[in-house]
Amino acid sequence: MACTVKRAFKYRFYPSDEQAAELGRTFGCVRLVYNRALAERTRAWYCEQRRMSYVDTSAALTQWKKTEELAFLCEVSSVPLQQALRHLQAAFSAFFDKHAKYPRFKSRKKSRACAEYTRSAFRYRDGELTLAKMGGPLGIVWSRPLPEGARPSTVTVSKDSAGRWFVSILCEDTIARLDPVGRAVGVDAGIGSLVTLSTGEKVTNPRHERHDRERLARAYKELARKQEGSANREKAKWKVARVHARIADRRRDFLHNLSTRLVHENQVVVIEDLNVRTMVRNHSLARAISDAAWRQLRAMLEYKAAWYGRELVVVDRWFPSSKTCSQCGTIREKMPLNVREWECRCGARHDRDVNAAKNVLAAGLAVSACGAGVRPQRESSRTGQSVPKQETQPATVGISRL
């Protein structure tokens, strides 16, 4: 059995001087159109109480091109400019649906430099990709082949802060579902060990940022010594960006390997719903939590489980997995972070992380079998009285508990 999904294939490429100049102009025009449309929509609302749609901003773009000030917009492909307006419309839709904050202006220094081309603005033939307004194909390093008979629908070209050029090609791909296996695993995220499994296995946290911290500190020290606006300062910025890119690449590769392994080996993967945004407010642990990239690992598990026919269960963040005895179910009142091993009154001795992973697994199987939420016993904010705790009985549903 297989499923058809939209999948992006990302490659690095090396443009010629002419291609780099053309793409640089396109990036600048895309940013200008986005910011100008955002300013126009904001002005229309606050000054005229009028909402502008994508159609209105598209008509405004046509008028901008006719002015002497913005006539240079005609020199680049019109498709990336239209796509910028569509992205702005999507940002406003998310804002009105209360899924995101009000759209912000794109910065030349901080925003990602990218341009999106739809099918009418590029040609893919015989393994070569040619964009509109360019005479020759891009020098792409094909690190892996596209699916056989692929017909790309969207191409996104970007340049990161380290000066590397990437092209992301979106096309349909057929992914074969994995054969069912009778295994389930609970995953407890941590800092000392990146994840601890209910099997007792602990995956060491590679701490990529810590390993390159000295190199990063030297790069920042050199940057601080350079004069504002000088060419040497730009070179120093590039060196800092390269260190950050190295850290991010190594982290992403490690998380891909880990998430693929978990999905391939288990039919059900159970994780906790961690509130990372709140956790990084702890200044003592913020750097380590950010380096662990738990949210990125969860995102990978989500789409890979959907691809390969696995089940990913997310347990409520308030479930007391660390304080609950996995043998008798007793919940301790307090469990400081420095307590790594503890003994329950039933006589069971627990490793904090392994015990938490076992509890996460049991709760996740209960959720999967019954569809009920898993929440701890705590006081109501309105009445001040204790709220009954939902009991979570271990549910096997034909899956061996590890």
Q: Which of 22, 188, 209, 291 is catalytic?
A: 188
Q: Is 64 left (phi over 0), alpha (psi -120 to 50) or beta?
A: alpha
Q: Beta-carbon neighbour count of residue 395 at 10 Å? A: 17
Contact criterion met (CB below 8 Å) for 30 and 85: no
Q: Of 116, 209, 272, 291, which is the active-site residue?
A: 272
Please say if 343 is a catalytic residue.
no
Backbone region of residue 384 per phi and psi (left: phi > 0; alpha: psi in -120 to 50; beta: other values): left
188 is catalytic: yes
What distance separates the 2 farthest-apart alpha carbons in the chain? Answer: 82
Is 97 among the catalytic positions? no
Question: Three-class SS of residue 157?
Answer: strand
The H-or-E segment that residue 297 falls in is helix 294-308
Straight-line distance from the first to the last Cα atom of the chain, in angstroms, rounded to the nearest whole number:
27
The DSSP code sequence of 299-368 is HHHHHHHHHHT-EEEEE-TT--TTTB-TTT--B-S---TT--EEE-TTS-EEEHHHHHHHHHHHHHHHHH
Contact 271, 314 (CB under 8 A): yes
**Catalytic site residues?**
188, 272, 353
